Amino acid sequence: MTKIIETRDLSYSYGDGTQAIKGINISLDQGKKVALVGPNGAGKSTLMLMMNGILRPNSGEVLFLGKPLRYDAASLRSIRRAVGMVFQNSDDQLFAPTVYQDVAFGPINLGFPSEKVKRYVGFALQYVGLCGYERRPPHHLSGGEKKRVAIAGILAMEPEVMILDEPTSNLDPASSEEIMEMLDELNHGGKTLIISTHDVELAYRWADEVILMKDGEVVRRGTAQDVFGDVDLIRDARLKLPLVVDIYHELIGRGIARVSKPPRNILELCDLLQHKSGDGAQASGKIYICDVDQVHECEIRTLIDRDSVSFIGGMGTAAKALSERCNISLDFTYGVIDKCILKALTGKSALIMTSGGMVDHALHRIQDYCRESGAEIETCSLSRESDWREC
Ligand code: ADP
């Protein structure tokens, strides 16, 4: 696997002598979702600021695709294009009088011709679901909308890596979920994503890799289950255990569960309990997967109105836009695949509306789940009009 960002013996002290980063060695794989987790002051933001050259290390080095970062103006421009950074506070990032000008700032600075700027800004705003917001002043927008504008500003420069410092801080639960779901979509499109957070629930369910930091050092890295499965380590870092991990340890302590790894989500927790109770699963409902870019809205309406679907989930900006346009109310907007599997396991049928690479991702996730759990869930994929394919 290609190493996209590496650090070697990286250290950084601020001007007042605070040593924020102490000899960090990490390497991050291309295409992964990585969460830097740790309490306030652990050094997460400082490390991120060094990954795209905003801060220059006192010692050690950062490598991008195997090459050490250089700090002359041209090299910095190029690394900041390749590794885009979304700040914790959107007001630190948004400064232009209109949304369009804000998103266009990066591409204009990179010297893109005006046609290309227009195209990239249009694409980025569409991606984050803010078409029609071009003339609005960013400071009049909600917190979630500001975050989307900040993300669009980075997207418009076509980065390979996106770094987001505490992407959900100060957002309400629905906005947080929308942002995290957008990040999933970007990752399915091939982007490497690095977030920092002290929200353990978010990191646990989202990250392919967790890097736990404390006092300027990396104390553990691994899968979310490896890192959060270590109760002492998490407590020592002054963090909470994710709820499913807490329940898992309780079940282990009472002798109710004996599996060696904590469940990753509610679906796995329910499976563990059902397996333990020996109850056979009831007949499963069906899951429909619909590619909203390819299927006419009437087809989707027909399916829903026929009342064969009890729950509807929307994954990605295109699905959300269609649901708004057609007045289709979504029951699930985050964790959609697992929630639909949970419903199918209780005999209900569900529709997943999505697009692009996430269609196959949804199908594979359901098939993998069925293979691992032994459950039988009928899945139907609709990718062209009148073409339901039994999978
Ligand atoms: P985190 O993102 O994990 O909360 P930070 O990287 O912001 O951690 O901070 C790491 C350490 O560096 C903390 O001790 C913090 O007080 C210190 N620090 C951060 N920014 C500055 C600054 N501009 N000047 C001096 N110290 C700073």
Distance CA 330, CA 312 (A): 5
Per-residue pLDDT tens over the stretch 188-225:
889 999 999 988 999 999 999 999 999 999 999 999 99
Q: Give, to the nearest 10 degrees, the angle between helix 317-325 and helix 173-188.
A: 130
- State the pLDDT at residue 391: 45
CB 344 within 8 A of CB 287: yes
Taking the mean position of all CA atoms in its chain, how far away is CA 173? 14
Asked if pLDDT for residue 268 goes beyond 50, the answer is yes
For residues 150-162, average pLDDT: 96
β pairing state of 59-64 and 209-214? unpaired
Q: How many CB atoms within 10 Å of residue 255? A: 7
Given this model, what pLDDT does residue 211 score? 98
Predicted local confidence at residue 299, as pLDDT = 83
Q: What's the average model confidence in pLDDT over 305-325?
A: 86
Residue with tokens 């646990």: 204
The total of other beta-carbon atoms located within 10 Å of residue 328's CB is 17
> 268: which residues sit within 8 A by CB, 6+ positions away?
244
Whether residue 119 has pLDDT greater than 50: yes
Cα–Cα separations (whole angstroms), residue 275 to 256, 269, 283: 11, 10, 16
Q: Residue 188's closest CA among 11, 32, 365?
A: 32
Contacts for 190 with CB less than 8 Å, ≥ 6 apart: 31
Percent of the chain with pLDDT over 90: 62
Q: Which of 11, 13, 21, 46 to mutate to test the pocket of ligand 1 (most atoms within 8 A of CB)?
A: 46
7-32 pLDDT, tens digit each: 999 999 999 999 999 999 999 999 99
- Measured from the Cα of 198, ligand 1's closest atom is 3
Judged against a pLDDT cut of 50, whether residue 152 lies above it is answered with yes
Residues having CB within 6 Å of any atom of ligand 1: 14, 16, 18, 20, 38, 40-46, 196
Phi and psi (nearest 5°) for 96? -80, 160
The share of the chain scoring above pLDDT 70, in percent, equals: 96
Name all domains of the chain by residue range, CATH numbers in brackets.
31-43+72-236 (3.40.50.300), 243-277 (no CATH), 286-390 (3.40.1010)
> How remote is the CA of residue 17 from the centroid of ligand 1, in Å?
11
For 115, list phi and psi in degrees, rounded to 5: -60, -45
Q: How many CA atoms lie within 13 A of 188 on its CB side?
A: 20
Rg (CA), the chain: 22
* Ligand 1 center–CA 216 separation, angstroms: 9
- Which pLDDT belongs to residue 176? 87
The residues, ordered by sequence, that sit 6+ positions from 86 with a Cβ below 8 Å of its Cβ are 93, 147, 150, 151, 154, 162, 163, 164, 165, 167
Positive or negative torsion for Cα 321, 323, 329, 332: negative
Atom of ligand 1 nearest to the CA of 213: 3
Whole-model pTM: value is: 0.86
Is it the case that residue 258 has pLDDT exceeding 90?
Answer: no
**What is the overall mean pLDDT for the chain?**
90
Q: Which two tokens stand for residue 130?
A: 């803010």
pLDDT at 87 exceeding the cut of 90: yes
Residues in the chain: 391
Is pLDDT of 307 > 70? no
CA angle, 378 as apex, 377 and 380 as ends, to 5°? 135
The pair phi, psi for residue 98, each rounded to 5°, is -130, 160
Cα–ligand 1 centroid distance for 46 (angstroms): 7
Q: Judge whether residue 169 has pLDDT over 80.
A: yes
Report the interhelical angle of 99-109 vs 143-155 (nearest 10°).
20
Q: State the amino acid at position 209 in one-letter form.
A: E
